[in-house]
Amino acid sequence: MSQEPQITLQTLPLENQILPFEAEAETPTLPVQITLQLARQADKRPEPARVHFQIQTPPPNFWLPTDFPVVEGTQLLDIETALPLNGKWQLLQSLPVRGVYRLLVNVEPLLSNSFKPITRTLSLSVNENVVKFRNFAILAAFLLTCGFGGGLVIGGTSRQNSGEIAPMRVRLLLSATAVVAILALLVINFEAEFAESHTHTHTQPHQEVPFVYASGFIVEWSALTQATVGQPAAIAMHISDAKTRKPVQDIEVHVRVVQAEEGWVALAFWAKPNRDGWLRWKQGFFDGAPHRLEIEIAPDSLRSDQFKPFRFTREIDVEPVAPPLATRTIGFFYFSIFLVAGLVGGLWIRGRQTQKDISLR
């Protein structure tokens, strides 16, 4: 009986070193390289096989949402392709949030019954970026201090003389806070108006030609030009011979999905069309901005007439989705606790001092 093949999955960086995609990073985050290896024996070429590969994002955590809550618990990728002859298939995927991703791998033989289909569910754990914890701690400390300072000053007003219209310190405190708030809002709004506009430009849906003729092929492109964050977008292309109109299989398709404004890679993979000439995948977009699909079609090593690879691009405009109010409110609730705790602490200390003063008199 022949030895059943095994599948192994490796990531680069290693699993415990993977960080989620960092939006607005100073240096663009590199996508994670996921390598799937189908192996029979160390010295033997694996059987021709087809893989169905899916990635599910981590389930939502209501009490501690991530910065991309809309894509939590959704499908990030769903693709089917024949494996390369050496059984090693690689893809690059940006992982948007922390948590445990579920990877579903299903490998079937291309030649019937050459091995039993393999189904595996794997998990991939992604740690949160430490910077976020640091910034949270800084903000919490700032809010505690603001609350505490405010409590000390406001609590001191109980010692005001009767007939005094408004204690100077209160007026000063309120005025200063109001001025800070006004300045902050002014700066934000003025910069928003006059700074070079960050363009999450919503380009008009392109009326692109759904066909590409090149090197004797016709590539028919699905009409998708728009997608929405959190909803996996179905993308498909059909490759056929321009003369015979028959589907072509002995080619390789290299796909790179790039965020068009900032140039980072959301997804990149190698694939082959199926027997009917179709290459289909579902992709979850997590950034609401235009994306560019860069596609290169090249002959595979077994093809008799080797042609020069050709490239084309397609634009997909991704509609952003604001996180639900409840998701935003939970973070706000935490910040409020820090401020109120500081405020109550300040008032309490001031109250104790006042009681001491009175008992000393």
Partner 1 sequence: MQTSLLSLQRAGQGLGRLTLSVPIQAILYAFLCLLTVWTVYFSTFPPIHHQAHSLRHHTLAVACH
Site string for partner 1, 295-334 (x = CB under 8 A): -------------------------xxxx---xxxxxx-x
Q: Does 348 bind partner 1 (CB under 8 A)?
A: no
Report d(CA 292, CA 315) in Å as an integer: 5
Nearest distance in Å: CB 299, partner 1: 41
Q: Give the residue with the Cβ less far from partner 1, 10 or 127.
A: 127
Choices 33-41, 164-172, 295-303, 306-314; region in contact with partner 1 by CB under 8 A: 164-172
Per the CB < 8 A criterion, the answer to whether 58 and 75 are in contact is: no
Task: Please identify which residue in 133, 172, 205, 242 interacts with partner 1, judged by CB under 8 A.
Answer: 133
- Can you give the chain as a three-state secondary structure string? CCCCCEEEEEEECCHHHCCCCCCCCCCCCCCEEEEEEEECECCECCCCEEEEEEEECCCCCCCCCCCCHHHCCCEEEEEEEECCCCCEEEEEECCCCCEEEEEEEEEEECCCCCCCCEEEEEEEEECCCHHHHHHHHHHHHHHHHHHHHHHHHHHHHHHCCCCCCCCHHHHHHHHHHHHHHHHHHHHHHHHHHHCCCCCCCCCCCCCCCCEEEECCEEEEECCCCEEECCECEEEEEEEEECCCCCECCCEEEEEEEEECCCCCEEEEEEECCCCCCEEEEEECCCCCCEEEEEEEEEECCCCCCCCCCEEEEEEEEEECCCCCHHHHHHHHHHHHHHHHHHHHHHHHHHHHHHHHHHHHC
Looking at beta carbons only, is 173 or 227 nearer to partner 1?
173
Q: Determine which residue in the list 46, 273, 284, 288 makes contact with partner 1, applying CB under 8 A.
A: 288
155 contacts partner 1 (rule: CB under 8 A): yes
* Beta carbons within 10 angstroms of residue 212's beta carbon: 19
Among 85, 110, 131, 242, contact with partner 1 (rule: CB under 8 A): 131
Residue 157 binding partner 1, by CB under 8 A? yes
- Report, in Å, the least distance between residue 231 CB and partner 1: 14
Neighbours of 96 (CB within 10 A): 28
Specify the stretch interacting with partner 1 by CB under 8 A; choose among 83-91, 139-147, 220-228, 235-243.
Answer: 139-147
Mark the segment that binds partner 1 (CB under 8 A) among 106-114, 165-173, 210-218, 261-269: 165-173
- Nearer to partner 1 by Cβ, of 32 and 339: the residue is 339
Stretch that binds partner 1, among 43-51, 128-136, 202-210, 253-261 (CB under 8 A): 128-136
Output the smallest distance, CB 177 to partner 1, in A. 5
Binders of partner 1 among residues 53 to 92 (CB under 8 A) are 64-70
Please report whether residue 46 would count as binding partner 1 according to CB under 8 A.
no
Determine if 186 is a binding residue for partner 1 (CB under 8 A).
no
Positions touching partner 1 (CB under 8 A) are: 22-24, 64-70, 128-129, 131-133, 135-136, 139, 143, 146-147, 150-151, 154-155, 157-158, 160, 165-167, 170, 173-174, 177-178, 180-181, 184-185, 188-189, 191-193, 195, 198, 200, 229, 287-288, 320-323, 327-332, 334-336, 339-340, 343, 347
